[in-house]
Amino acid sequence: MSLKVAILISGGGSNMVTLADSMTGDHPARPCLVLSNNPDAGGVKKAQARGIPTAVVDHRPFGTDRAGFESQVQAALDRAAPDILCLAGFMRVLTPGFVDRWQGRMLNIHPSLLPRHKGLHTHARALEAGDAEHGCSVHLVTPELDDGPVLGQARIAVRAGDTPETLAARVLAEEHRLYPAVLRAFAEDMKTS
Ligand code: GAR
């Protein structure tokens, strides 16, 4: 039996696509759900085109009621019964209650070399800091934002003349290699343990 992976997105979903497309053949997992908090997320159509079940839980009607939003997300997850949750450009902060429920089974990709540059605008901040190296990290999600144990990183050199946009493009290409590799290793470990 394959493990089941739910992928949470908010936008274009390029990482979701590379994860979903990696889960074929002898991969120990298969995608069971792509869930977006944003009804207009381009990734939803890309998932549908791949025949992956999708769900949208729009966060906006919930206002500041994060727990209310998350209970709807949890209900969709309960129906899909994933073994692993992958956050892939999911831009909502999760409450400790939700994180506790998934801790040890929830991965995130972050566009920086954690613990550097937690939070937003990582590419601009790497440039402002004069970093010689930049990159991306896949980590386990814990209640503290972008703070959980790092499972893998990919590095790029910052070049003279780089802008946040040129860095973002080179880091994204690394994300697309890193996240599927980390997910595969994580799923293999889970299956044999
Ligand atoms: C990716 O660069 C991902 O690392 C970042 O959002 C982008 C989503 O792109 N995530 C975060 O900043 C999380 N804090 P995608 O929708 O094309 O995968």
Ligand 1 atom 7: the closest Cα is on which residue? 89
For ligand 1, what atom is nearest to the CA of residue 17? 18
Q: Give catalytic status of residue 139 as yes or no.
A: no
Q: What is the CATH number of domain 3-192?
A: 3.40.50.170
Distance 82 CA to ligand 1 centre (A): 21
Rounded Cα distance between 4 and 21, Å, is 14
Task: Give the pLDDT of residue 104.
Answer: 97
Residues lining ligand 1, Cβ inside 6 A:
9, 11-15, 43, 88-89, 109-111, 172, 175
Q: How far is the CA of 24 from the centre of ligand 1 (A)?
A: 23
Ligand 1 atom at minimal distance to the Cα of residue 43: 16
Secondary structure (3-state) at 14:
helix
Write down the pLDDT at residue 6: 99
Alpha-helical regions (H) of the chain = 14-22, 42-49, 66-80, 96-102, 122-128, 164-192
Q: What is the dihedral of CA 27, 29, 31, 33, to 10 degrees?
A: -170
Identify the pLDDT of residue 87. 98
* Predicted pLDDT of residue 136: 99
Q: Where are the domains of the chain?
A: 3-192
Q: Which pLDDT score, from 0 to 100, does residue 162 have?
A: 98
Measured from the Cα of 42, ligand 1's closest atom is 16
- Ligand 1 centre and the CA of 189: distance in Å? 25
At residue 19, the pLDDT reads 99
Q: Where are the alpha helices (DSSP H) in 30-89?
A: 42-49, 66-80
Ranges of residues in the chain with a pLDDT under 70 are: none
Q: How far is the CA of 88 from the centre of ligand 1 (A)?
A: 6
Q: What's the first-to-final CA gap in the chain, in angstroms?
A: 14
* Token pair 């939700």: residue: 98
Nearest protein CA to atom 16 of ligand 1, as residue = 13
| pLDDT of amino acid 111 | 98
Compute the distance between CA of residue 23 and CA of residue 95 in angstroms, rounded to an integer: 29
**Alpha carbon nearest to ligand 1 atom 14, residue:** 110
Q: Given this model, what pLDDT does residue 149 score?
A: 98
| Beta-strand pair 150-157/133-140 | antiparallel
* C-beta separation of 49 from 78 below 8 A: no
pLDDT of residue 106: 98
Handedness of CA 185, 187, 191, 193 (dihedral sign): positive
Q: Is the peptide bond before 115 cis (omega within 30 degrees of 0)?
A: yes
Of 110, 117, 123, 134, the catalytic one is 110
Pinpoint the alpha helices (H) of 54-102. Answer: 66-80, 96-102
65 C-alpha to ligand 1 centroid (Å): 24
- Enter the tokens of residue 3: 């493990």
CA distance 14 to 6: 15
- Non-local (6+) Cβ contacts of 149 within 8 A are 139, 140, 142
